Structure 1
Amino acid sequence: MVKVSEIMTRSVITIRGSAPVAAALQRMLQQGIHALVVDRQHPQDAYGIITDTDIVTRALAFGRDLKRLRVYEIMSKPCIVVNPDLAVEYVARLFSNTGISVAPVIQSELLGIVTITDLLTHEALLSNPQETQLTDQIDQAIALAEQTCQTFGKQSQQCVEAWAKVDALQTEWAYQTQTRLDQTAYDAFRASNPDALKLEDYDNWCSG
């Protein structure tokens, strides 16, 4: 699973909120980038972001003077940020759900920036998608669960915990692929092994 920290750009170009928008645009053009992170005023302050789209839709579209207009007037603050340990598939889903194409990477401090271009140009994401990884993990987890139940018994804690891991992986696969699961692997196991302890029974047993 590829993390944000593996594809993000660590060198982040920033700008002050008080700077003219013209300066922000010039910096973007010089650096060949589409967004600037807006510096915080103090440690408790939130980061902001200004993009070339902001300049077009919030300034140029209304005939604003970019030399007089300030960054803080059209920036987004607080901006949407991501954790460096987040799987990149979730960043893609975040971009899709919010309509953004860039986000600062923050964990206590500004670590980098991740863009939609980073997602589209990272070879591992295209050659080894998470759907394939999850399918392999599910197959391995099912085999392990079946073996665990044979070793410790179908009523054992180990058996149920092993199938709970399968359930978690299948749930994630269903979410990632937007697929409805009519029957999980554990449901199939229960159908062929009616004496096996149910996950919900085990949860009740453990809780009290």
Structure 2
Amino acid sequence: MLTIADIMTQTVQILDRTNTVADAIVQMQTHGLRSLIVERPAIKMPYGILTERDIVYKVFARGLDPARVRVQDIMRQPCISLEPHLSLREAALIMSDSGIQRAPVIHNDELLGILSVTDLVMKGYVMSSTTSTK
């Protein structure tokens, strides 16, 4: 059985909560990303997430200046996270029920990667097709 650990993106860009949204936009553009994980303030605290959708809805649509808005003011925290041992179906159900398109993958308080619906569709389908033909 494939798990999300098999298909997640392991390279994750992390952003400090005190950065501006303008900083976040530059980081997203530089790395070709649609979301960034926001560093947690303390070890046992949850991570946050900032998505392009958050920026559009909470900054641009309100006519705010991205250079004056802090990430902590618009990010989602706590964000829904996933465990690496979950099956693709379990992850899809959690994401569907929660209405999210991406989530950090965390185990024992360690950030391991991020899973997106694109990962589920593109990598999950390809990998499940190759394992079912063996």
Provide TM-score, normalisation by structure 2.
Answer: 0.91
Runs (4 or more) in structure 1 with deviation over 4 Å come to none
2:120 partner SS:
helix
> Residue 163 of structure 1 corresponds to which residue in structure 2?
none
Q: Structure 1 vs Structure 2: percent identity of aligned residues? A: 39
1:43 partner SS:
coil
> Residue 127 of structure 2 corresponds to which residue in structure 1?
124
What letter matches 2:101 in structure 1? S
What is the correspondence of 1:63-82 to structure 2 with a 5 Å cutoff? 63-82=63-82
Deviation at 1:124, TM superposition (A): 2.4
2:9 partner SS:
coil
Deviation at 1:69, TM superposition (A): 0.1
What is the correspondence of 1:3-22 to structure 2 with a 5 Å cutoff? 3-22=3-22
2:43 partner SS:
coil
> Residue 111 of structure 2 corresponds to which residue in structure 1?
110
Count matched residues.
129
1:37 partner SS:
strand
Hey, what's the Cα distance between the residues in 1 that align with 2:71 and 2:56?
Answer: 13
RMSD: 1.5
- Note the residue ranges of structure 2 that are not aligned, 5 or more in a row: none
Hey, what's the Cα distance between the residues in 2 that align with 1:120 and 1:28?
Answer: 22
What is the correspondence of 1:1-208 to structure 2 with a 5 Å cutoff? 1-108=1-108, 109-122=110-123, 123-125=126-128, 127=129
73-82 or 90-99: which moved more?
90-99
2:49 partner SS:
strand
More strand by share: 2
What letter matches 1:74 in structure 2? I
Hey, what's the Cα distance between the residues in 2 that align with 1:121 and 1:14?
Answer: 24
What letter matches 1:25 in structure 2? I
More helix by share: 1
Deviation at 1:26, TM superposition (A): 1.1
Give 1 or 2 for the bigger CA radius of gyration.
1
Hey, what's the Cα distance between the residues in 1 that align with 2:117 and 2:25?
Answer: 20
Deviation at 1:128, TM superposition (A): 7.1
- Note the residue ranges of structure 1 that are not aligned, 5 or more in a row: 133-208
Hey, what's the Cα distance between the residues in 2 that align with 1:22 and 1:41?
Answer: 21
